[in-house]
Amino acid sequence: MRYSQMFLPTGREIPADAEIISHQLMIRAGLIRKLTSGIYSYLPLGYRVIRNVERIIREEMNKAGAQEVHLPMVQPIELWQESGRSEHYGTLLLKFLDRNKHQYCLGPTHEEVITDLVRNDVKTYRQLPLNLYQIQTKFRDELRPRFGLMRCREFGMKDAYSFDVDEAGAEKSYARMFAAYKNIFRRCGLRFRPVEADSGSIGGKYSHEFLVMADAGEDAMVFCDKCDYAANLEKAEVAAPEKKNIVGESFLPLESVHTPDVRTIEEVCSFLQIQPQQIVKTLIFAADGQAIAVLIRGDQEVNEIKVKNYLGVSEIALADDDMIFKATGAPRGFAGAVKIKCRVLADYSVMNMINFVTGANQEDYHLKNVNIGRDCSVESFADLRVVEENDVCPRCGGAIQFARGIEVGHVFKLGTKYSKAMKALYLDRDGREKIMIMGCYGIGIGRTAAASVEQNHDENGIIWPMPLAPYQVIITPVNVNEQSVMAAADNIYQSLSALNIDVILDDRDERAGVKFKDADLIGIPVRITVGQKNLASGNVEIRIRKTAVTSLCALDKVAAEVHQIIKEELDAASGQD
RNA sequence: CGGGGCGUAGCGCAGCCUGGUAGCGCGCUUGCUUUGGGAGCAAGAUGUCGCAGGUUCAAAUCCUGCCGCCCCGACCA
């Protein structure tokens, strides 16, 4: 393609509303433009990158035995009522009426549609297993879209759904997708890590997220130095401590102290001259509307997701003042387990504590020397807190590290959540009706491209890994008015095109510096500079964007040389699992 | 939804406090010079100052309401 013909608006200025580097560069490099909050247009260069991601996904999905379908984006609300997610998905669902006042929604995901499709046409174990996928535009009315393609409302997604006759089959499908995902992201040139994750509102038994390592990522992860344990921060386990034998003699007498207007951990510490580790924090949660107290050591944080999963409830949030008062008889800031009027759970961090401080369930009073067993009781001890720096790996006891990542893929083992609710049944070998076992597997397309930019850039712009590059080569004739230069550039252009290489010929009548800057900004992996001086000795210059290494190459060898460079880059990225 | 910020030329911004001819840089157009890392000079074009009311002789500027966008939080595959 001739640059002068391309719709490729590049910009020097950093757009004011772009916070992270990938967002800034994708706009500056003319890949995307925002239409409105969380909704973007892909320009020609951006769309070529998207199509490259999609191509890699298609190849690996097909190789893994999945078949491509294309499901509707507009879905009748009844399907969502049937699965029970119409309520639960809440405001993320964009609902609207047609002319007959029939309610529809824009598909934020397609479990319902695919389950409906399969239940109608799959009747016997002979038709299973089945894995169907699509690449579709999804719409989720995000509370807060942000960071360009990172969190959009409208976004491209590959979603796959597997249907199996039994657990063993479902495991196999899951493992196959897991392996395919590793291949996909490796081929995209990303540094990533699969981590254990919470399955959230989609439900299911367990799941893994594929996180691309990047400081701008919205997810925090924990991983072990020694073994391959890695988990999303919200999922990361804390090993249960050993239960110490506490003898009653060490208990000091319970004491009530006047603590006027002393509420927070810091205030209690400075007022009583103690450390947070001597306090037991009592948080009151509303779990599906019921008050639940959670005890935790004063210096640590409750992980609400762990509490939610432990209780098996669908909604959890910190209680409001009203509920706190009903449970404790006191305003916020003075809760404690002694004589509290609700269920009490405790994090492991509290298990071996004695003579601790808590709120007194009475305004302006705290209790000293509280002891579980003597003064209050706990329904059970469990892992309910957020993992922290000093913790060790729950699997092997090794040291753990923290990192941030961008969630580009998520695989879920759904079990029968949807197949049961929507009656996706089949007849087994013995003629008995059984429920299909499902899995679902998503990849954010635009987010994958953005993650790549986040990982591969420098101060001059994007550095596309070869497999995602919108064009693999850019030819830069230094002076288009010099006939010999243009003729040579044209010649190389023809040779490379003949080898099926995607190449831009920068035929603009611009100064060399401008063209170099644009080539760097848009991140084309290989640049061939054609200048008068080198041409005089029959040479052109090959420059590698990533390394900035520049070498001279004879005119008649340049096509073969560049072809080889591209092949090596692609091969290096495509090691399979 | 709570808190904060912003809305002026395609992009980045000043002007607003203290009302009185709408500006700067980049980009764009034309010409001349220049030509290996975002050139120089000259001449140009481009605005419902987010929208709607109000105050005033006069509103980008003051007041009220609304809309949009961004950030933090809450929430979320």
Q: What is the pLDDT of residue A289?
A: 85
Q: Are strands A343-347 and A290-297 parallel, antiparallel or unpaired?
A: parallel
Cα–Cα dist A574/A211, whole Å: 19
H or E element in which residue A546 lies: none
Alpha helices in A408-455 (DSSP H): 417-421, 445-455
**CB under 8 Å to A81, separation ≥6 — which residues?**
none
Q: Which of the nucleotides lies closest to A138 (Cα–C1')?
A: B77
CA(A23)–C1'(B45) in Å?
A: 32
Least-confidence region, from A184-188, A261-265, A468-472: A261-265
Q: Which of the nucleotides lies closest to A18 (Cα–C1')?
A: B70
Q: Give yes or no: residues A353 and A253 share one domain.
A: yes
Q: Is residue A505 part of a domain?
A: yes
Cα–Cα dist A316/A337, whole Å: 20
Domain with residue A192: its CATH number is: 3.30.930.10
- The answer on pLDDT for A143 being more than 90 is no
Q: What is the pLDDT of residue A103?
A: 92
Q: Is residue A391 part of a domain?
A: no
Q: Is residue A196 part of a domain?
A: yes
Cβ distance A201 to A418 under 8 Å?
A: no
Q: Which of the nucleotides lies closest to A207 (Cα–C1')?
A: B77
Q: Is residue A364 part of a domain?
A: yes
CA(A190)–C1'(B11) in Å?
A: 31
Q: Give yes or no: residues A176 and A75 share one domain.
A: yes
CA(A281)–C1'(B33) in Å?
A: 76
Q: Bin A252: left if φ > 0, else alpha if -120 < ψ < 50, else beta.
A: beta
Instruction: Write out pLDDT tens, residues A195-216.
Output: 999 877 676 778 999 999 999 8
Q: Give yes or no: residues A281 and A207 share one domain.
A: no
Last-in-domain residue among A324, A349, A382 = A382
Least-confidence region, from A219-228, A441-450, A560-569: A219-228
Q: How many CB atoms lie within 10 A of CB A540?
A: 25
Q: Give yes or no: residues A170 and A281 share one domain.
A: no
H or E element in which residue A222 lies: strand A219-224
Cα–Cα dist A347/A367, whole Å: 19
Q: Is residue A461 part of a domain?
A: no
CA(A289)–C1'(B67) in Å?
A: 37
Does the CA dihedral A5-A56-A113-A38 come out positive or negative? negative
Q: Is residue A243 part of a domain?
A: no
Q: For chain A, how many structural domains are there in total?
A: 3
Q: Which of the nucleotides lies closest to A202 (Cα–C1')?
A: B77
ipTM of the complex: 0.94
CA(A34)–C1'(B7) in Å?
A: 16
A383: three-class secondary structure by DSSP: coil
Cα–Cα dist A14/A17, whole Å: 9
Adjacent-strand bridge partners of A285: A292, A318
Q: For A93, how many CA atoms within 13 A lie in the half-sphere containing its CB?
A: 22
Q: Give yes or no: residues A255 and A229 share one domain.
A: no
Q: Is residue A514 part of a domain?
A: yes
Q: Which of the nucleotides lies closest to A92 (Cα–C1')?
A: B76
Instruction: Write out pLDDT tens, residues A489-546.
Output: 999 999 999 999 999 999 999 999 999 999 999 999 999 999 999 999 999 999 999 9
Q: Is residue A561 part of a domain?
A: yes
Q: Give yes or no: residues A179 and A44 share one domain.
A: yes
Q: Give yes or no: residues A95 and A190 share one domain.
A: yes
Q: What is the pLDDT of residue A100?
A: 93
Q: What is the pLDDT of residue A389?
A: 85
Instruction: Write out pLDDT tens, residues A282-303.
Output: 999 988 888 999 999 999 989 9
DSSP structural state of residue A6: S
- Nearest protein residue to nucleotide B38 (CA to C1' distance) is A514
Domain with residue A342: its CATH number is: 3.90.960.10
CA(A16)–C1'(B18) in Å?
A: 30
Cα–Cα dist A19/A24, whole Å: 7
Listed as ranges, the nucleotides of chain B within 7 A of a protein C-beta are 1, 10-13, 25-27, 34-39, 68-77
Full residue range of the structural domain in which residue A539 is found: 471-573
Q: Give yes or no: residues A331 and A220 share one domain.
A: no
Cα–Cα dist A103/A97, whole Å: 5
Q: What is the pLDDT of residue A29?
A: 97
CA(A514)–C1'(B27) in Å?
A: 13
Q: Which of the nucleotides lies closest to A14 (Cα–C1')?
A: B12
